[in-house]
Amino acid sequence: MIKNAFKASFIKRIIALIFIFNVIFVALFVGMTFIITKSNISGDVNSVMVNSSESASDAVMEYISGMSDRLRILAISSDTAKLLANPDTADSTPVFEDMDKLKSSYGGPAAIWCVSEKNGGYFADGGVSGTIFTEDYEWFADAERSSLDSPMVYVINDAYKRFVECDSQVILVMPVRLNGEFVGCAGIEFPAKMLSENISRRIYTEGVYSAVLDQSNNVLCGPEDDERIKELTGNAADGLSSLAADISATGTIVEFKSGKTTSYAMCQVSCGGLRVLTVFDGKVADGSFTKMYSQQIIILACLFVLELIATLNVIRHEAKDIPEISNSIAEISAGNYNFRINSSSENEIGLIAKSVDDLAQTLQDKNAVIDDYMTLDPTTGLQNRYKLYEYIEDLMVSRDESRKRFALLFIDIDNFKWITETLGHRHGDEFLKIFGQRLKAVVPRVFRFSGDEFVILADFNDDFGIIDELIRNLRSEFIEPVEILNDKLYVQFSVGISIYPDDDTNPDMLLRDADIAMSRAKEKGKGRTSYYNASLHQTVLSKATIAQKLNKALENNEMFLNFQPIISVQNGDIHGFEVLVRWESEELGSVPPFTFVQIAEETGAIVEIGTWIFETGCRFLKRMNEINPDIIMSINVSPVQLKRKDFIDKVRRTINVFQVNPANIQIEITETSLVEFIDGNNDTIQKLADMGIALALDDFGTGYSSFGYLKDMPIKTLKVDKSFVDEICSKHKDYQITGSIIDMVKNLGIKTVVEGVESIEQYNILAEMKCDYIQGFLMSKPLNASDAMEFVETYEELHKPSRRSLEENSQKLAVERLEREKHRAEQA
Ligand code: C2E
Ligand code: CA
Ligand code: CA
C-alpha cells in the first residue's frame, strides 16, 4: 500500500506540475499571439488598401495609355491626315487597314474611328463611313482647340452613343493635323467595364473590390459581386457613388461601418480624371484574422499534446527504477537480500538503485558471515547439524519433485573414546579436524553431527553400488594413519545408511534410522557398514510400487492382524494386547509395517486400512472379553486417521456394533501427532477420553520427549521406546533415563509400558524400577488370532511367566539374536 501510494504520488505530482506549467505557458502564448496578430492585422489592412488601390489605378492608367499609344499612331499617320483634309477625294483604304491593324493588335476597343473637320464625315473601323454634326460633340470642339499631342479622355453615358452599344463607355480623342492645320480628330471607344477586367487581373486579395467612377462620382464599372457591395454600402441605390463622394482626400484610408463590421475604403485619381474607389470588406479581413488565429491555436494545441507525451515518456524513463527500488527496500526489510534492481540508468535514481543493490549485497555478505558462524563447526570447519537439517530438508523438497533417492551416511569413529583418552582433548579436536578433512576430500556434503559422529549426504541414482564405492573410497582415505604427537593412528569407522524416501521422509527419522543402522554396524565389529533396511537394499522396492499394491491389499485379503501380549509386572497377569498389522503381499511377499504404514499414510490408504484394523481389533476384543473381561486391546492409530472429521463417529459406531466396553480399548498415538493436536484446536483426543477410551503415548523418547504436555493431556499410558531398553544393562545413561521416565510419569498418575524387552536382565531392572507393564519377545512375540485366543484361554496354566520360563525365553532369544547377527555379518 505504502509502496503504491509513494509511486502514485511521486509521478502524479510531477505530471500535475508539468500540466499546470503547460497550461500557464499556453495561456501566455495565446494571449501574446492574440495581441501580436491583432496589430499585424491592422498593419495588413493598411498595406492591402494602399497596394490594392494603387494597383487598381495603375491598371486603369496602363489600359488607357496603351489605347492612347495606338490612337496616337492613327492620329499622326499622314494617310489619316490626308484623308481627313480631303475626305471626298482621298483614298480611305490605307486608313481602314491601319484601323483594323490597330484594333486587332490590342484587344478591347469597341471602335476606332476618325472624324473630318470639313464635313463631319467619319470613318470607322470595318470600313464604315458617314456624317456627324461635329458641333454637337464637345470632344470635337475640345480637339480643335487643343494644342496637346496626347489623347483626351471622355466618359459617355447613355446620351450619345455613337459607335457602340453599351452602358458606359470611355472615349479617347486626339486631333489630326496636316501641316499643322487641324483637319479632324481620331478616337477610340471602349466599354468602361474593360477597366474593371484589367483591375481584377491585378488584385488578388480576397474581399478587396475596386470600382471606376467619373469626376461626378458616377460608377462606370464596378466589382462583379453586386450583392456584397450592396450590403457593404448599406443597400443604397447609389452606394459606391455616395461612398466615393464622401471621400474627399485621395490616398487616405477611410473606415466605414457596414452592420457590425468595420470596412475600409480609399480613392485614387487616375488618368483622365477617372476616380478609382477601392473597398476592403471588413468581414473578410476579420475572417482571415480568425482563421490565422485559430490555425495558430491548433498548432499550439498539437505542440502542447506532443510536449506532454514527450514529458511523460521522459519522466517514465527517468523514474522507471522507482517501483523496483521500493520493491527492493521492502524485500530487504523482509530479510531477503537476494533481490537486485540492476538498473541501467545513470541518473540520480539509477544511482540510488545502485546504492540499494550495494546495500543488499553488503547485508547479504554480512549475513553469510553470520550464517557461517552459526552453521560452521569450529572444531572441524565443517558445517554443523543445523546446516545438515537445512540440507536434508532442501534435498527432500527437490527430491519430492524428481522422486530421486538419496542416501544418508551416519559415520561414527571406532574407539574414539580411547583416542581422546590417550591424546587428551586438545589433540582429540585436532584429530577430528583431520578426520573431517579426509572425508571432505572424497565427498562435498560432509557435516559434523556431534562428538565423533559425521553425516554424509550422497546421491546414488538408485544404484547401491555407488554407495558401496563411496564407502570404499572413504575407507581408503584412512589407509594412511593420522599422525598426531608423533603418534600414528590407524583409524576405522562404522557407517549406518538410511535411504530417502524408502526408510523415512522426515529428517529426524532419517537420521535416527541411519543412527540405528550405525549401531547395528558397530555390533558387528569395527569398520563395518549397515543399511537400516537391509531388505530394501536388496530388493529396492520403490515407494510407488508399494503404494500401488497397497490399494488392493485389503480387497485381496492380504492383511491380517497380530496381537502381542502386554503383561503386568506386579502380578504377571495379562493386561492386554497390542494390535499389529501384517501384510503378506502376493507380489511383494511380507512387507514390514515400518515400510508400508508410512506410505499408506502418505497416500491416505491408511484411513481405510486403519478402519479395518479398528473394527477387526474390536471384534476380537469382544471374543476375548468373553473369556477375560479385564483384557484391553491397544490399537495403533495414525495421525492421518485422527485428523479425519468422521473418526470419532466411526469409533462410536464400531463400539456399538461390536458391543465392546470402551474402557477396554486403548488407542496408541505417537508423540509427533500428539504435539500436532496440542498446537491445533482439534478436540478429538478429548472426545476419545470422554468416551472412556484410554490413550497411550507410543514410542516415548524418540520424538520431543517432553513431560510438559503430559499433564495437560488425557494420557493414561506411556510406552517407552525399545531403544531405551536395548542398552539399559550396558549404558548407564539409558538406565538413568528409563528410571527417571518411570518415576516422573508415576507422579503424574500415568502407567508405563516398556516395549522391546528381550532379556531377563532387562526385565529385572525394569521390575526394580517399578514399571507397570512389559511388552516384548521375552513375554511373547506377536501372535496370530487363534494363538492369541489360545494364549488367553490357557494363560494361567501355560503362559504366565515364571522365573524359569523367562530365563528359558531369554536364552532362546539371545541365541536367535546371535544367529541373526551372524547372518547379517555374512551379508555385509
Ligand atoms: P510400534 O507401535 O512401536 O510397535 C511395536 C513394534 O515393536 C512392533 O513391530 C513389534 O513387533 C515390535 N516388538 C515388540 N516387542 C519386541 C521385542 O522384544 N523385540 C523387537 N525387536 N521388537 C519388538 P512391528 O509389528 O513391526 O510394527 C512396527 C511399527 O509399525 C509399529 O511400531 C507401529 O508404528 C506400526 N504399526 C504396526 N501395526 C500398526 C497398526 O495396526 N496401525 C498403525 N497405524 N501402525 C502400526
Ligand atoms: Ca504401538
Ligand atoms: Ca512403540
Per-residue pLDDT tens digits for 402-414 = 778 899 999 999 8
Domain end among 252, 287, 303: 303
523 vs 824: CA distance, rounded Å: 11
Domain end among 303, 330, 357: 303
Tell whether 566 and 522 lie within a shared domain: no
HSE, side-chain direction, 13 A CA sphere, residue 152: 18
What residue type is 227 in one-letter code?
A: E
Report which of residues 527 and 435 the model is more confident about.
435
Confidence at residue 7, expressed as pLDDT on a 0 to 100 scale = 46
Confidence label for 139 from pLDDT (cuts 50, 70 and 90): confident
The residue assigned the cell 491548433 is 298
pLDDT digits 0-9 by tens, 774-823: 999 999 999 999 999 999 999 999 999 999 999 999 999 999 999 988 88
Please give the average per-residue pLDDT across 104-115, as a whole number.
76
Torsion of CA 279, 282, 287, 290, to 10 degrees: 130
Measured from the alpha carbon of residue 594, the closest ligand is 1
Specify the range with the lowest mean pLDDT, choosing from 483-487, 759-763, 789-793: 483-487
Q: At residue 449, does pLDDT exceed 90?
A: yes
Tell whether 482 and 568 lie within a shared domain: no
757 belongs to a structural domain: yes
What CATH number has the domain bearing residue 491?
3.30.70.270
d(CA 33, ligand 1 centre) in Å: 100
Confidence label for 22 from pLDDT (cuts 50, 70 and 90): confident
Confidence at residue 6, expressed as pLDDT on a 0 to 100 scale = 43
Specify the range with the lowest mean pLDDT, choosing from 62-71, 181-190, 276-285, 376-385: 276-285
pLDDT digits 0-9 by tens, 29-40: 777 777 766 666
What CATH number has the domain bearing residue 582?
3.20.20.450
Report which of residues 78 and 803 the model is more confident about.
803
Tell whether 182 and 81 lie within a shared domain: yes
Tell whether 483 and 574 lie within a shared domain: no
Q: At residue 5, does pLDDT exceed 50?
A: no
The parent domain of residue 627 ranges over: 558-820
Mutate to test the pocket of ligand 1, among 636, 665, 774, 812 (most ligand atoms within 8 A of CB): 636
Please give the average per-residue pLDDT across 672-691, as a whole number.
80
Peptide bond into 94 cis (omega under 30): no
22 belongs to a structural domain: yes
Mutate to test the pocket of ligand 1, among 755, 760, 813 (most ligand atoms within 8 A of CB): 755
Please give the average per-residue pLDDT across 104-129, as a whole number.
79
Confidence at residue 225, expressed as pLDDT on a 0 to 100 scale = 67
Tell whether 295 and 425 lie within a shared domain: no
Measured from the alpha carbon of residue 780, the closest ligand is 1
Q: At residue 729, does pLDDT exceed 70?
A: yes
Please give the average per-residue pLDDT across 113-120, as a whole number.
83
Report which of residues 368 and 623 the model is more confident about.
623
Helix (H, G, I), strand (E, B) or coil at 156: strand
Q: What is the mean pLDDT of the chain?
A: 85
The residue assigned the cell 520424538 is 703
Tell whether 687 and 799 lie within a shared domain: yes
Phi then psi dihedrals of residue 190, to 5 deg: -150, 155
338 belongs to a structural domain: no
H/E stretch holding 197:
helix 193-202
Tell whether 519 and 607 lie within a shared domain: no
Please give the average per-residue pLDDT across 281-294, as a whole number.
71
Mutate to test the pocket of ligand 1, among 580, 641, 699 (most ligand atoms within 8 A of CB): 580
The three-point CA angle 815-818-819 to 5° equals 90
Share of the chain above pLDDT 90, in %: 32
Query: Which residue's alpha carbon is nearest to atom 26 within ligand 1?
Result: 593
770 belongs to a structural domain: yes
370 belongs to a structural domain: no
613 vs 580: CA distance, rounded Å: 9
Tell whether 390 and 289 lie within a shared domain: no
Tell whether 390 and 455 lie within a shared domain: yes
Report which of residues 792 and 828 the model is more confident about.
792
pLDDT digits 0-9 by tens, 300-335: 888 888 888 888 888 878 788 888 888 888 888 887
Query: Which residue's alpha carbon is nearest to atom 8 within ligand 1?
Result: 580
Please give the average per-residue pLDDT across 732-760, as a whole number.
92
Helix (H, G, I), strand (E, B) or coil at 696: strand
Please give the average per-residue pLDDT across 228-247, as a whole number.
74
Confidence at residue 703, expressed as pLDDT on a 0 to 100 scale = 63
Tell whether 499 and 565 lie within a shared domain: no
Q: At residue 232, does pLDDT exceed 80?
A: no
What residue type is 632 in one-letter code?
A: I
Confidence label for 499 from pLDDT (cuts 50, 70 and 90): very high
Confidence at residue 538, expressed as pLDDT on a 0 to 100 scale = 47
Q: At residue 536, does pLDDT exceed 80?
A: no
Peptide bond into 109 cis (omega under 30): no
Mutate to test the pocket of ligand 1, among 503, 597, 727 (most ligand atoms within 8 A of CB): 597
What residue type is 566 in one-letter code?
A: I
Measured from the alpha carbon of residue 775, the closest ligand is 1
Measured from the alpha carbon of residue 593, the closest ligand is 1
Evaluate whether 259 touches 191 at the Cβ level (below 8 Å).
Answer: no
Kindly state the greatest CA–CA separation across the chain.
193
d(CA 634, ligand 2 centre) in Å: 8
H/E stretch holding 186:
strand 181-191
Q: At residue 235, does pLDDT exceed 80?
A: no
Tell whether 617 and 484 lie within a shared domain: no
Confidence at residue 697, expressed as pLDDT on a 0 to 100 scale = 93
181 belongs to a structural domain: yes
pLDDT digits 0-9 by tens, 611-665: 999 999 999 999 999 999 999 999 999 999 998 999 999 999 999 999 999 999 9
Confidence at residue 43, expressed as pLDDT on a 0 to 100 scale = 63
445 belongs to a structural domain: yes
Tell whether 517 and 562 lie within a shared domain: no
pLDDT digits 0-9 by tens, 185-219: 888 888 888 888 888 887 777 788 888 888 777 78
Please give the average per-residue pLDDT across 689-697, as a whole number.
95
Specify the range with the lowest mean pLDDT, choosing from 196-210, 360-374, 524-538: 524-538
What CATH number has the domain bearing residue 174?
3.30.450.220
Judging by DSSP bridges, how do beta strands 574-585 and 493-500 pair with one another? unpaired
d(CA 580, ligand 1 centre) in Å: 6
Q: At residue 455, does pLDDT exceed 90?
A: yes
Query: Which residue's alpha carbon is nearest to atom 27 within ligand 1?
Result: 593
Report which of residues 783 and 76 the model is more confident about.
783
150 belongs to a structural domain: yes
User: Structurally, how many domains does the chain consist of?
Assistant: 3
d(CA 674, ligand 3 centre) in Å: 14
Please give the average per-residue pLDDT across 243-258, as a whole number.
78
Strongest mean pLDDT among 286-300, 361-375, 727-741: 727-741
Burial (CB count <10 Å: 0-12, 13-18, 19+), residue 16:
exposed
Please give the average per-residue pLDDT across 66-90, as a whole number.
84
Q: At residue 92, does pLDDT exceed 90?
A: no
Domain end among 509, 527, 545: 527
Confidence at residue 130, expressed as pLDDT on a 0 to 100 scale = 82
Confidence at residue 3, expressed as pLDDT on a 0 to 100 scale = 44
Q: Which residues contact ligand 1 via a Cβ below 6 A?
A: 564, 579-581, 592-594, 597, 613, 636, 638, 698-699, 722, 755-758, 775-777, 782
Evaluate whether 695 touches 669 at the Cβ level (below 8 Å).
Answer: yes
Gap between the terminal Cα atoms of the chain: 64
Closest to 91 (Cα-Cα) out of 100, 103, 101, 82: 82
Phi then psi dihedrals of residue 169, to 5 deg: -140, 155
Residues whose CB falls within 8 Å of the CB of residue 336, separated by 6 or more in sequence, listed in order: none
Residues whose CB falls within 8 Å of the CB of residue 771, separated by 6 or more in sequence, listed in order: 569, 720, 742, 752, 753, 754
453 vs 534: CA distance, rounded Å: 22
Please give the average per-residue pLDDT across 445-467, as a whole number.
90
Neighbours of ion ligand 2 (CB under 5 A): 636, 668, 698
pTM, 2 dp: 0.44
Q: At residue 80, does pLDDT exceed 90?
A: no
Confidence at residue 437, expressed as pLDDT on a 0 to 100 scale = 95
Report which of residues 149 and 601 the model is more confident about.
601
